[in-house]
Amino acid sequence: MADLSIDFAGIRSPNPFWLASAPPTNSGAQIHRAFEYGWGGAVWKTIGAPVLNISNRYGSLTLGGRRMLAINNVELISDRPLDVNLREIAEIKRLWPDRAVIVSAMVDADPQAWKDIVMMIEDTGADGIELNYGCPQGMSERGMGAAVGQVPEMCQLNTHWVTSVTRLPVIVKLTPNITHIVDPAHAALAGGAHALSLINTINSVTRVDLDTLLVSPSIGGRGTHGGYAGPAVKPIALNMLTELMTDPQVLRSGVPISGMGGIATWRDAAEFLLLGATSLQVCTAAMQHGYRIIEDLTDGLGNWMDDHGFNTIADVTGKSLPQMSTFGGLDLSHQSVARIDQNKCIGCDLCYAACNDTAHQCIDLVSPDGVTVDPGYDMRTNGRQVADTRPRPVVRENDCVGCALCANVCPVDGCITMVTVPSGRQSITWDELTAQRPDIAQSWAAMQAYREEVGIEIH
């Protein structure tokens, strides 16, 4: 069986799944229970500056009947007494020496404040420190959290204050609320960070109640922005992860990355690993389903690794990164077309509507006798659908640009597939083409001439 254990900047855990710094890691009792279920590690809910929390604290996004597609929280860092947290951290590490116990910290941007909290954390026996530069609500207004992570100079300075006084591995947690995630990553490395983690929550307002007109969550009739997390943010997290894992400076540093942001299943976890993460942090899924999901996460990931011949997490990490490219490095000659399996088609015509209304008008509705019918064709007889006379969507492959919208809107798995076909054109990228013929990027006449030359027709 696959070995799921990891070594993350010297921090060892029996599997890569850590609970992220959040309500699921608010107390020793909770983390003890999580470890009993099998979690490989936990990042303690952020400790540091004194706070007062409010209620209500959470809003969520429901879409198509699916609840908690994302969660929006306005909760601050731990409001439990500092000495209580420190005592419980020490106790948990004593009880679970084989698990990763990382302490998230956030204090004022002051070297003495950082030194004080770091010394306290070291005394607990914790395995590492995560610097919370990501919290986008409440704490950022006080000059902490995202207020540090959004300013590379502050990120570097605060990180240096910590790394210069501790023997523990220091993980810098990056905020996604920034134009270019690479800039604070470089700053963290310059400050001596031993590892990076991302993404923290995204600034958001999730909902307005159309009956009461109140913003959710409503706190005494008022609302505010909060941190957005859960399955809906996974594509953003994966993009930012790949930005770091394809950055030459980050690669040269060799620092590991703890990936988070929408991990709800073992499949999500595998995607983060394939794009370069070494450890994985989970929050929203645990908040929705409880700690027991760890069994599905570890079993599913282990079985998938066995099926693909991966023996260790290191074998998986970054395996898909060589595919990543800028647009300029993509092959302009590649051609795909959509093909519809009529045996699987349920006749919903979503592909037809999507293609003809919002894409490239290359799907027709064709009757059983091969006649293309008008979109207004009456598909019902006496109020009952007649299956053998219903027209079916058919792709005109010569006109198909391979946008794949139809395959994405189709509700039936495997009904519409994108098939690679010969384009008849020589392989060339945009960067190569514009280097050879720079006028193509400047003149539509030159572009049209090139299209005619190589046989590209835009219908």
- Residue 254 pLDDT greater than 90, yes or no: yes
- Catalytic residue numbers, as ranges: 135
Label residue 458 by pLDDT band (50, 70, 90).
Answer: confident
Tokens of 17: 């799944």
* Residue 57: exposure state from Cβ atoms within 10 A (0-12, 13-18, ≥19): middle
pLDDT band at 377 (very low <50, low <70, confident <90, very high): low
Q: Which residue has the tokens 């993460």?
A: 277
pLDDT for res 107: 96
Nearest to 284 by CA among 53, 17, 43, 22: 22
194: left (phi over 0), alpha (psi -120 to 50) or beta: alpha
What distances in angstroms separate CA 110 from CA 114, 167, 392, 433, one per listed residue? 6, 19, 68, 52
Q: What is the pLDDT, as a whole number, of residue 56? A: 87
In which band, very low, low, confident or very high, does the pLDDT at 389 lie, cut at 50, 70 and 90? confident
Tokens of 327: 């647009």
The whole-number pLDDT of residue 356 equals: 95
Q: How confident is the model at residue 382 (pLDDT cuts 50, 70, 90)?
A: very low
Q: What pLDDT, in 10s, does the model give residues 272-300?
A: 999 999 999 999 999 999 999 999 999 99
Read off the pLDDT of residues 104-150 as tens digits, 9 standing for 90 and up.
999 999 999 999 999 999 999 999 999 999 988 889 889 999 999 99
Mean pLDDT of all residues in 186-213: 96
Angle in degrees, 0-180, between the axes of helices 266-274 and 293-308, rounded to the nearest 10: 50
Residue 378 pLDDT greater than 60, yes or no? no
For each of the domains in the chain, give its residue range(s) and CATH number, in order of start: 6-323 (3.20.20.70), 327-420 (3.30.70.20)
Say if residue 380's pLDDT is above 80: no
The upper half-sphere exposure of residue 66, i.e. CA atoms within 13 Å in the direction of its Cβ, equals: 8
Tell whether the model's pLDDT for residue 379 goes beyond 70: no
At 390 the pLDDT is: 84
**Percentage, residues of the chain above pLDDT 70:** 97
Coil, strand or helix at 226 = strand
Q: Is the peptide bond before 56 cis (omega within 30 degrees of 0)?
A: yes
* Average pLDDT value for the chain: 94
Residue 438 burial (CB count, 10 A): 11
pLDDT reading at 359 higher than 90: yes
Over the stretch 76-112, which tens digit does the pLDDT of each residue have? 999 999 999 999 999 999 999 999 999 999 999 999 9
433: DSSP letter:
H
Question: What amino acid occupies position 249?
Answer: Q
Does position 3 have pLDDT exceeding 70, yes or no? Answer: yes
Confidence at 312, pLDDT banded by 50, 70, 90: very high
The mean per-residue pLDDT over the stretch 398-402 comes to: 95
Looking at the predicted structure, is the pLDDT value of residue 385 above 60? Answer: no
Reported confidence tier of residue 375, pLDDT bands at 50, 70, 90? low
CA distance 262 to 86: 29
Q: What pLDDT sits at residue 376? A: 59
